[in-house]
Structure 1
Amino acid sequence: MNWTEVLMLMTVIRLGQPDRRFDHYLLGTSMVWPERYEPRSVIHSRFQMSRGGRVMLSSPRFRPGVPFTLGMFEATAACRTNVEPDVRPFPPQQCAHRTRDTNTDPQPLVNVVDVFLDKHEILWALDVGTINTMTQPERVAPPKIVRVEIDDDVDTYKAYEIDIDAEQEDSDVEMCLQFIVAHQSPKNTFVFITDAGRNSLIMFDMYKEMQSTIVFPEKTAYADRDIMFMTLLHKTMQGTRRPGLYVTYLSGCHMYVVQLDNIDQCSAVVARPVIMDLGRKPYRITVLGSDGGSRMFFRRPAENEIWSWDVNAHFHPSMFELVTKGQDCRAPVQITAGYDHFLFVLKNNFGDYVRNTTGSLGAYTIIQPVSRLPKSRGNSTTTKGTDDNARCDCHG
């Protein structure tokens, strides 16, 4: 039996004892990191996994005491006996993990809230530039996109600053950057970022290093605290795969798709991708991610069951499939395809973290396989759980 087919719980939060400073790469004992390490401030909220088994995790600086905001550990077969691996700073350069921008080149990672690994295994990270967002928010650097070239020897990175004043009509409306996705078109690379505060997507043409904005037709009444989900899926039409960004607000009523099949013909100045309304949602959903193909994963509010929907089917509750039932109090946060053709899920006790009731060791996060993926992700039909015929109730 393959080792990944056995229960694999990888605890990724045990960084050290609660009474000692964090000392990986001298970040806790030198002038590079003057702040103390506080385990209760650390929680891993987003992750990506390379084909070689490297797991990259974001640790947002919600509170003071987070030693670094982007980390990494190995999940290969050689490391299978280590169920509580050490999370190391990623990239490994010390200058990459300062909380203050000291005009270094490249710029340090201040607060990474989301990561995305493209098909060429280049990691794209969204750094919002504001720290202590749950206590006393403080902007210490401009928001930026960070491009990390993953290599076993040297992990090099480059930062692209986001123009916070670009195409802003109302100066009183602030950005609320949440998710990042990179799309490799036949001729170019485009990076998209959700901005719930301004009801839009920020689109970056990475070759021209140009930024533009896609405004959504649906607005939310809770822009300052709503969540604007986004995931990249591929729909099969007439034998061809058509990529699209599937976007919805947590409190919104509709699901949208931004068509990307003709993205190379879009100009950062004039044209914009086409936005289609797929219809009303039967209830609020929390989008968890995709399998790299045509299947979206999500959960319903206050529930831990994982559901899926294939974009080749109608967006309707009768097409939703139960993947797995919730078996503990940890809520699924993100799902992504990873090592050894498995689909992996990250779970944590974020509710306890928000209430500050996690205990002295801090939040508890696990990453575990959900199901086996087909050899070709293009077909993306995941192995379903035991309740194949289960359907969620439709409540209008």
Structure 2
Amino acid sequence: MLFNGNESTPKRWFSLEYQWVYLNYTWTSAHHYRWALESRCYIPENNAPVGFEVYENAVFVSVPRFRPGVPATLTVFDRNTASKLNPLLSPYPDWDSNDLSSCRNLQSVQSMKVDTRGVMWVIDGVRINNLTRCPPKLVLLDLRTGGELVHSYEFPSELSSAQGGFLNDLVIDERVGGSFAYITENSADPGVIVYSRKENRSWKLRDRSMLAEPRAVGFYVDGLLFNNSVPVDGIALSPKDHNGEKTLFYVALSSFTLYSLPTSVIRQEQSVFDGSWKQWVRPTATIPSQVDGIIMDNRANLYLTLLPLYGVARWDFRKPSRGFQIIQQDDTTTIWPDGFAFDQSGFLYVISNQVLRYIDSRQEVPVNSDIKFRVLRTFTGTNSYLYD
């Protein structure tokens, strides 16, 4: 696969949209705020944004509970009224739904996606510490009714454990006969989980292509060595082809290889049990660097975050010989570009969050006035793969 890295390539397609020194919330009162600080239910320096999604005028942000002191793990702000600097986050749907006291509530959310009907699919599945022992789950919330619970599904422990599971990212495959979700699980038992909404069942794909590549382990970002061996992480779905079929893409964070397979071979549980789906796995491209988030638009352009390059690349799946084009590269504003989101007006967003400083509890988090989290955007004139 070619890598288009010539000097004429534009390197700053994205402009700054939001930024935070630290995350703060819309507390119910001054007393509530003081209580949260004094009880250490809110430890400002332990809060880092990860998931990012835009629906109409609402901007949704997930704050996984990598560390104690995160009062709400799914939040929202209004992009029409919010400040561009340190916009306050409101718990979504409300404070009670983010309370750790019940497994029915949201425990630690990594990612979420909104389908074409305005239903947000939320993966509540970061289980890498002792802050919760609740099973990982998928939660569907209707954004048109203020976040009303549509459905909740707990994953079997053999697919994602309550002790060590890590549901990382997802894509939604909308179909007339019933939608599917494809979810990366990058715990010690890595794979891609397939969830059938119609059957309310899930099954897991496990394959060597989902493991870390030793040659891709170890790289520096902002002076820090990230030496973790991270399996399958980023996931993307193509728009329908001329036969009405879609292609699933996935990549391990510690890898230089993008893999793909047709979704038609993984939507049937039996094909997973007999292993026949594995013959369809293809190494699709060699990528320029280690990546985290990936996303495809409705014109089959794949966007990838480039972690040690502080950048974003674009690749046309339908014209692969053109190679990867770096469209963003900035070691100040794009420190650990984590993931993407499209709005409904042709803009692509990327969140940059330095998450390597937060996910490892042994790493000291700086407390200062520096900008730590940024959301950038660029106009592509396209939309999410869901609107094919």
Which TM-score band (shorter chain)? 0.7 to 0.9
Q: How does 1:128-139 map to 2 (within 5 A)?
A: 128=125, 130=127, 133=128, 137-139=130-132
Compared CA separation, residues 80 and 69, structure 1 to 2 (3 A): closer
* Dislocated runs of 4+, deviation >6 Å: 221-224, 375-380
Contact 1:185 1:264 in 2 (8 A): no
Equivalent residue for 2:236? 232
Q: Whole-Å Cα distance in 2 between the matches of residues 253 and 349 of structure 1?
A: 21
2: distance between equivalents of 1:221 and 1:356?
Answer: 28
Q: Which residue of 1 aligns with 2:144?
A: 151
Q: CA deviation at 1:358?
A: 2.7
1:306 maps onto 2:312 in alignment: yes
Superposed, 1:54-73 pairs within 5 Å as 54-73=58-77
1:311-330 mapped onto 2 (5 Å cutoff): 311-314=317-320, 318-326=322-330, 328-330=332-334
Give the alignment of 1:198-277 within 5 angstroms: 198-218=189-209, 219-220=211-212, 225-234=229-238, 237=241, 239-240=242-243, 242-261=245-264, 267=270, 275-277=280-282
Deviation for aligned residue 1:229: 2.5
Are 2:351 and 1:349 aligned? no
Which amino acid counterpart does residue 91 of structure 1 have in structure 2? P
From 14, 19, 27, the equivalent of 1:11 is 19
Q: For residues 290 and 366 of structure 2, what CA distance do their matches in structure 1 show?
A: 26
Would the aligned equivalents of 1:13 and 1:363 in 2 still touch at CA under 8 Å? yes
Matched, 1:122 2:119: yes
Match of 2:173 among 169, 174, 183: 183
1:144 positional shift: 0.7
| Letter aligned with residue 74 of structure 1 | D
**RMSD between superposed Cα atoms in Å:** 3.7
Q: Using a 3 Å threshold, how does the CA distance of structure 1 residues 362 and 46 change in structure 2: closer, same or farther?
A: farther
Asked if the contact 1:292–1:336 (Cα under 8 Å) also holds between the matched residues in 2, the reply is: no
Q: Please list, as runs of the form range in 1=range in 2, the aligned pairs for 1:152-167 lying within 5 A after superposition.
A: 153=146, 155-165=148-158
* Distance change (3 Å), C-alpha of 1:157 and 1:59: farther
Secondary structure of the 1:40 match is: helix
**What is residue 40 of structure 1 aligned with on the other side?**
45
Q: Which amino acid aligns with 1:89?
A: P
Asked if 1:97 corresponds to 2:98, the answer is: yes
Q: What SS class does the counterpart of residue 96 from structure 1 fall into?
A: helix
AA matched with 2:96 = C
Structure 1 residue 295: deviation in Å? 1.6
Structure 1 position 349, deviation (Å):
3.1
Residue type of the alignment partner of 1:305 = G
Partner Cα separation in structure 1 for residue 239 and residue 105 of structure 2: 38
Long gaps (5+) in structure 1: 381-396
Please say if residues 248 and 260 of structure 2, whose CA atoms lie closer than 8 Å, have aligned partners that are also in contact.
yes
Identify the structure with bigger relative contact order (alpha carbons < 8 Å, sequence gap 6+).
Answer: 2
Of stretches 259-268 and 38-47 in structure 1, the one that deviates more from structure 2 is: 259-268
**Equivalent-residue separation in structure 1 for 2:369 and 2:150 (angstroms):** 31
For 1:239-290, what per-residue CA distance to the aligned partner results, in whole angstroms no more than 9, with x for missing partners? Answer: 4553222011122353221312566666587577563313452554314332
Structure 1 residue 214, shift from structure 2 partner: 1.5
Q: Offset of 1:333 from its aligned partner?
A: 1.6
| 369-378 or 328-337: bigger deviation | 369-378
Task: Give aligned pairs, total.
Answer: 352
Within 5 Å, give how 1:106-121 maps onto structure 2: 107-121=104-118
Instruction: After superposition, give the CA deviation of every residue in 1:117-137 in whole Å (9 maximum; x if it has no partner).
Output: 22222111111263xx4xx53
User: Are 1:144 and 1:161, in contact at CA under 8 Å, matched by a contact in 2?
Assistant: yes
Distance 2:366 2:177 in 1: 47
Report SS of the residue matched to 2:45: helix
Note closer, same or farther for the CA distance 1:375–1:203 as it changes in structure 2 (3 Å cut): closer
Alpha carbons 2:181, 2:194 under 8 Å: kept: yes
After superposition, the Cα gap between the structure-2 partners of 1:11 and 1:240, relative to the gap in structure 1 and judged at 3 Å, is: same
Would you say the 8 A contact 2:65–2:126 is kept in 1?
no
**Does the 8 A contact of 2:51 with 2:111 survive in 1?**
yes
Change (3 A) 1:10 1:260: same
Q: Which ranges of structure 2 fall in alignment gaps of 5 or more residues?
A: 1-12, 218-227
Identical residues among aligned pairs (%): 16
Which amino acid is 1:149 matched to?
D
